[in-house]
Structure 1
Amino acid sequence: MSKAMRILHAPTNIAGIAGLAAKAQRRLGYDSTSVEYISRQFNFGTDLSLHLERERGPMKVAKAMRFATAAIRKYDVFHLYFGNTLLPYPYPDLPLLRALGKKLVFHFCGCEVRRRDINLDEYDLSGCHECTSLVCLSKHHPPFNRADKLLVATPDLLEFVPGAELMPGPVDLSEWQPEPFRDKQPGEPIKILHAPTDRGIKGSNYIIAAVERLKQRYNVELLLLENVPHAEVKAFGNQADIVVDQIMIGAYGTVAIEQMAKGKSVICYIRPDLRPYYPASLPLVSATPATIYEEIERLVLDADLRRQLGAQGIEYVHEVHDVDKVAARMIEIYKET
């Protein structure tokens, strides 16, 4: 395939991946578009939203059908996210896409493919242990063998998607630039940022409890952000000294990537069996519900360690998560399949 190929990222913009990838692929000279069917409060940004959240019943289906019909005519590569295709289960568009020789990439990002039973049986900690939303119980995904390529966003998903490639989460480094190290002024609290999309999955209650305990001994403040637009997370991140991503899932996500890019010291649980997927010098602090108090305390007391982790995190994200590198690898995949 040449640069003449037309690429569609749809129908979900989980963690902003679709929007970032399409924009970067256009910079590389490709005709690439991101479309989300439903706009969410996080507002990561796509080229087009169908705003199906505003529609009901037959009108909702008809709008999706109109878009799918036009997209099948226009695009050559369909990069599809979160276990969705252009049309809802049972995915009536897939046979047509295959028959027309379209390239299909399924990109899995989390709960749409995690097996709750396996996580509960095999791991002491997981996003499933205290999850209350139970998205996985009602979520379908298309058969893996319908795709030309399978991708996963984090290494914990590899066991649930046989044959998948791990695709690092992208970050736009022009938007997430390093901040000068925050030298705390006398009397000013150490600020700890936590921005969960789901408290149970991220272990938020343990994080909140740990900060409350720390307040009894140290001048600390929790910046807890929930259901806020993506731009607000960036703004509050400027104020943070320490960022806690999650302490249950076992792999870091978008918050960790973006805040490392800004030079923040990050705490996030890395499951021991997933360590080989990361460099030995991974510049973040791993913590569990049992150790989160001690690990936050260590960073509160050690400004030099915060500074060191921040500097190393910037280098790591530039090497692994730069959206231009991620988008270029996606282009290679489209050409290889």
Structure 2
Amino acid sequence: MIKVIHLPIIIAGTSPILSKYLKKMGVYSKVISFYKTFLGYYGDINLDLDSLSPRERSNKIRNFMSHFLKHDLPKYDIIHIHFLNSLSTGDSFGGWNLSDQLFYDLKIAKDLGKKIVCSAYGSDVQNISKIVYYQLKFQYPHIDLPYPPLNNFSQIKKISALMSYVDVFVTGTTLINHLPYGYYITMPFDVEFYDSYASSVDSGRFTILHAPSNSFVKGTRFLDQAIEKLRLKYNNFDYILVKNMPHDKAISYYPGFGVAVDQINYDFGLVALEYMYYGRPVICCFRKEEFQPFDAKYNAPIVSVFNQEELLEVLEKSIRGEILYNKEDLKSYVLENFAASLIASKYKELYEILIDGGKIPQFVNPNWFAQYQRFLNKEPIDKDNYYSKVTDFLLSQKELSLLLVEIQNGFNLASNVELLAKLILAKELLGDHKSASALRNQNASLVASEAFRSHYERAKEIYQKEVPDP
């Protein structure tokens, strides 16, 4: 019997779902969960760290890890980590690092001959600048920007450390682009769970649903702008923002009459599958060029929009009943491609190959290794100057909040002097002179350099110009 332990973070309910269906297939599977979150996630072993202080969390994890490594680890064949976190090393929910050596527990597991699988989900491996890049293309369709670096600096270091221990990275095709190598298995959809929550709060009116776990990533601001315009013309729809509520309550809104908007970036997530399973058509900005043709998402029955005008137009057509769809086709798409029983069987097959010493046919990413070589050589990782160009553009558009995001994303990937100059200027423009002064003091030698002064004055000039038409 295969024995697998999933740990330590539950993302979108994935590890408990996998474990549930693996057990049905004769696999001994357990889930360790550090946090239940507001979504109420539970594993077989729960540390319930949510309300503890950082010190209390570290102590509890350390005690648990010590016991687990000594008494429980030896009995497992597969250590399946999620979201690039392990028992000893993680950066979720404030993070924890119990050893000077990253992923110390995985080294112990590897020394014992255990096979290690790592599932990646999104922000754990993907530079969030990719979201910004595609949202800017949505907002300014004619913008000309180079593609951002694949990972941020912290992600590169984590992935580099994990390469010493992980036998296979598992994820969807778009995230394989952000890893050195990977194996494609998509997300599992627990049909039994969704069938058990068939009740609905449907009012009978046309509804536009949006359930953002992260409003910035999901592009909620673009939908809000469209809704404001729609309300000037129509009074026969409701806009329902589903957020900060338990999962079972959230999905009670999903059946019914209307459409849903998932993400305005380049992808769609689990919530889109939930909408479709209940027969609700989904609108998002889905960029097929980011996916391989064999990916289950590639030919998804999604209504794609690529700018604000298209979003507004599609929503208007939906309200007028001009978007045709078949509820059963939407449900069938989910069942045929994401049913948890199907996905769990693929994981079981993967585990069996690893245990038998077989070779996993992983996709190898030469672009990642080229970026990694620049990292090792201490060369600029942002070889195409994405951060210089995007921060120039955001300054020119007076988009200061988004500018701060991209400056932080770019540190250690691009010119830190240029980014520091723009960061201090942005803080000053936002009236945060205390932070700006602190940054000047903390980086006194850089601030005194000619390079800093040049970048700072140039940034001021860009900002002071009239906003151009991009």
TM-score (norm 1): 0.85
Q: Aligned in 2, Cα 1:229/1:240: closer, same or farther, shift over 3 Å?
A: farther
Partner of residue 167, structure 1: 185
Deviations 1:169-203 (A, max 9, x none): 111112224999x9x99xx5311111111111000
1:5 Cα deviation after fit: 1.7
Partner of residue 209, structure 1: 225
Partner of residue 65, structure 1: 65
Partner of residue 132, structure 1: none
Report the Cα distance in structure 1 between the residues aligned to 2:298 and 2:36, rounded to whole angstroms: 38
Give yes or no for contact 1:108–1:151 (8 Å, CA) kept in 2. Answer: yes
Alignment of 1:81-92 (within 5 A): 81-88=82-89, 89=97, 90-92=102-104
1:321 Cα deviation after fit: 0.3
Q: Aligned in 2, Cα 1:208/1:240: closer, same or farther, shift over 3 Å?
A: farther
Paired letter, 1:334: Y
Q: Which has the higher contact order (CA 8 A, sep 6+)?
A: 1
Paired letter, 2:83: F
Give yes or no for contact 2:288–2:298 (8 Å, CA) kept in 1. Answer: no
Report the Cα distance in structure 2 between the residues aligned to 1:246 and 1:192, rounded to whole angstroms: 13
Higher helix content, 1 or 2: 2
1:18 Cα deviation after fit: 0.5
Give yes or no for contact 2:8–2:81 (8 Å, CA) kept in 1. Answer: yes
Deviations 1:140-161 (A, max 9, x none): 4542342111111x43212111
Paired letter, 2:330: G
Paired letter, 1:258: E
Question: Is residue 321 of structure 2 the alignment partner of residue 315 of structure 1?
Answer: no
Match of 2:320 among 301, 304, 316: 301
Report the Cα distance in structure 1 between the residues aligned to 2:135 and 2:15, rounded to whole angstroms: 30
Paired letter, 1:302: G
Q: Which moved more, 1:77-86 or 1:161-170?
A: 161-170
Tell me the secondary structure at the aligned position of residue 263 of structure 1.
Answer: coil
Partner of residue 28, structure 1: 25
Q: Aligned in 2, Cα 1:35/1:240: closer, same or farther, shift over 3 Å?
A: farther
Percentage of pairs with the same residue: 24
Paired letter, 1:75: Y
Q: Aligned in 2, Cα 1:49/1:204: closer, same or farther, shift over 3 Å?
A: same
Give yes or no for contact 1:64–1:87 (8 Å, CA) kept in 2. Answer: no
Q: How many residues align?
A: 319
Paired letter, 1:62: R
Partner of residue 200, structure 1: 216
Give yes or no for contact 1:178–1:262 (8 Å, CA) kept in 2. Answer: no
Q: Aligned in 2, Cα 1:45/1:262: closer, same or farther, shift over 3 Å?
A: farther
Partner of residue 78, structure 2: 77
Tell me the secondary structure at the aligned position of residue 114 of structure 1.
Answer: coil
Question: Is residue 205 of structure 2 the alignment partner of residue 155 of structure 1?
Answer: no
Paired letter, 1:16: G
1:81 Cα deviation after fit: 0.5
Q: Which moved more, 1:293-302 or 1:14-23?
A: 293-302
Give yes or no for contact 2:131–2:217 (8 Å, CA) kept in 1. Answer: no
1:316 Cα deviation after fit: 0.8
Partner of residue 176, structure 1: 194
Q: Aligned in 2, Cα 1:66/1:146: closer, same or farther, shift over 3 Å?
A: closer
Structure 2 unpaired stretches of 5+: 90-96, 139-144, 146-150, 355-470
Give yes or no for contact 2:255–2:279 (8 Å, CA) kept in 1. Answer: no
Structure number with larger C-alpha Rg: 2
Give yes or no for contact 1:112–1:136 (8 Å, CA) kept in 2. Answer: no
TM-score (norm 2): 0.62
Deviations 1:96-140 (A, max 9, x none): 1111111100100011111245666798559xx9xxxxx967664
